[in-house]
Amino acid sequence: MNKQLKRCPKCLKDLTNENLSAEIDYCPKCNVGLDIYIFSAAFRDNKVESAAAIPEDGGASCFYHEEKKAELLCDRCGKFICLLCDINLGDQHVCPNCLQYNVKEDGEDFVKQRTLYHKLSLFFAVLSMCGGITVIPALYYSIRYFKADGGLVNPRSGWHATCHCITFLVALVWICIWGYWGLIVLLEMLKG
């Protein structure tokens, strides 16, 4: 508990935990004023669980650390790994290589980006004001991806469902408008 945390900026005297626990606001040696902010982690002993050594009877060693005893298997590739290499990924234990591969290959546990279909369908619904053909993809995205997750931050927000409902209604309105306009044009062509 007597480990060095900081030094006085003027005289460079070591300030230990005993100095800091007295709630001083000056250096004990040179009396310069100090602003000291103490966090509880400063007084905690950092105990890191180390991997066990390989037993003499020839037990399995870690794939990445030959001098350490293998504690478990990687759930993805089956390599023997020690406690140092063990990475908990949900309910799985994976090795660093599988974690790196999963990040690079955009695995199921690491989704870096997601298509926001509710915004795409809303875009096509608004774009249908310029031409009626974009109503079809607006309806498609609205119906097909209604139950799909939204964004990465808040995948099931009310905005997601609201966008799909608005898109569906706007698309139906535009289908009616373009259909009515097409019917009028068709009737005019038949008359003339």
Buried b (16+ CB within 10 A) or exposed e, 64-93: eeeebbbbeebebeebbbbbebbeebeeeb
What CA–CA distance (Å, rounded) separates 113 from 107?
12
What CA–CA distance (Å, rounded) separates 74 from 92?
8
Reply yes or no on whether the pLDDT at 31 is more than 60. yes
Return the number of other C-beta atoms located less than 10 Å from residue 59's C-beta: 12
Q: In Å, how far are 57, 62, 68, 130 from 50, measured between CA atoms?
A: 20, 13, 9, 66
Q: Which residue has the higher pLDDT, 6 or 168?
A: 168
pLDDT digit string, tens, across residues 35-84: 776 666 655 665 555 555 555 666 788 888 888 888 889 888 888 999 89
Q: 61-70, 147-156, 171-180: which has the minimum mean pLDDT?
A: 147-156
* pLDDT (mean) for 161-172: 84
Of all residues in the chain, the percent with pLDDT exceeding 90 is 1
